[in-house]
Amino acid sequence: MNNILEATRINKIVELGKNNELHILKDVNLEIKEGEFVAVMGPSGSGKSTLLYNVSGMDRISSGDVLFKGNEIGKLKEENLAKIRLNNMGFIFQNINLLKNLSLIDNVMFPALVSKDADKNKVYKRAKKLLEMTGIAALENNNINQASGGQLQRVAICRALINDPDILFGDEPTGALDSKSATEIMSLLTEINKKGTTVMLVTHDAKVAAKTERVLFMVDGKIVASKKMNKFDAKVDNIKEREESIMKWIVESTDTYSNKGEEKMAK
Ligand SMILES: Nc1ncnc2c1ncn2[C@@H]1O[C@H](COP(=O)(O)OP(=O)(O)OP(=O)(O)O)[C@@H](O)[C@H]1O
């Protein structure tokens, strides 16, 4: 399998004022294979969201290289990068970010209608199919205040998929949902991944990570550990066992790689 995403020694440094900067990502290397389903975990402030935004071209790295499908994107002009984000990548966030004055289906169609020569009829059909796939077709003409949090997150997923992206990025996509909706959204993402879309998620939730096939653990701006599993298959895999093994691994990794662990090792 080819790498869809390859980051080499990327750094992110933000200026906080005169002589004051914050080094958030520190020489991070990352490879994601086409079709993979990857979760990024780690303590709050360790740099998970920053990693996601920087490898997806939503934000600019300070140094290093990011290859998307073999092409360097770290230094592309904004307009070229925007085209890649629009056509090849989908984004889902915790705060769902839908447009208030549009119906649910119009929100889904929106990213596909940005291009002047979009065929509105074709786009509508695809949007409708996505709403059907995610079980909310009956709500297509509702406003966003006429849908639950879980339903809105499905709309956000449909919108992220409207341009048939190669990769879907999610920053805590289930973070604001109740546990039933979160489980449903994860089942949906599992299905989407099975159909071939690469998925990279940031999550605090081991139950979410248990449905992925590789979990990266970040501490203080670095990926310090990685846990590989088989692709989740609800027919044969026990989700509870996977979740528990991830939680155990997180405790061990935290103990080994957190400052406390480093102090311990130094002694
Ligand atoms: N633009 C910015 N300006 C200043 N500080 C920033 C900026 N972006 C991120 N940070 C800081 O960098 C660190 C890493 O942030 P990031 O959001 O990537 O962490 P995270 O692991 O995703 O955290 P959480 O789990 O709490 O969402 C944090 O201390 C954050 O406050």
Q: Which atom of ligand 1 is nearest to the CA of 204?
A: 25
In the DSSP assignment, the letter for residue 68 is E
pLDDT at res. 1: 79
pLDDT at res. 259: 64
Q: Distance from the CA of 172 to the center of ligand 1, in angstroms?
A: 14
Contact 105/140 with Cβ under 8 angstroms? Answer: yes
Q: What are the distances in angstroms from CA 79 to CA 82, 83, 86?
A: 5, 6, 11
pLDDT at res. 95: 78
Q: Select from 3.40.50.720, 3.90.850.10, 3.40.50.300, 3.40.50.410 the CATH code of 37-59+79-266.
A: 3.40.50.300
Per-residue pLDDT of the chain (267 residues), as tens digits, is 799 999 999 999 999 988 899 999 999 999 999 999 999 999 999 999 999 999 999 999 999 999 999 999 988 899 999 999 999 999 998 877 899 999 999 999 999 998 778 899 999 999 999 999 888 999 999 999 999 988 999 999 999 999 999 999 999 988 888 888 888 889 889 999 999 999 999 999 999 999 999 999 999 999 999 999 999 998 999 999 999 999 999 999 999 988 654 444 444
pLDDT at res. 94: 80
Residue 91 makes CB contacts below 8 A (sequence gap 6+) with: 56, 58, 85, 160, 168, 169, 170, 171
pLDDT at res. 194: 94
Kindly list the protein residues whose Cβ atom lies closer than 6 A to any atom of ligand 1.
14, 22, 24, 42, 44-50
pLDDT at res. 193: 95
Residue pointed to by tokens 């975990």: 41
Q: Distance from the CA of 204 to the center of ligand 1, in angstroms?
A: 14
Rounded-to-integer distance, Cα 24 and Cα 83, Å: 27
Indicate the pTM of the whole model: 0.92
Rounded-to-integer distance, Cα 31 and Cα 26, Å: 16
pLDDT at res. 133: 86
Domain boundaries, the chain: 37-59+79-266
Nearest residue (by CA) to ligand 1, atom 13, is 45
Q: Distance from the CA of 45 to the center of ligand 1, in angstroms?
A: 5
167-171 and 89-93 beta bridge pairing: parallel
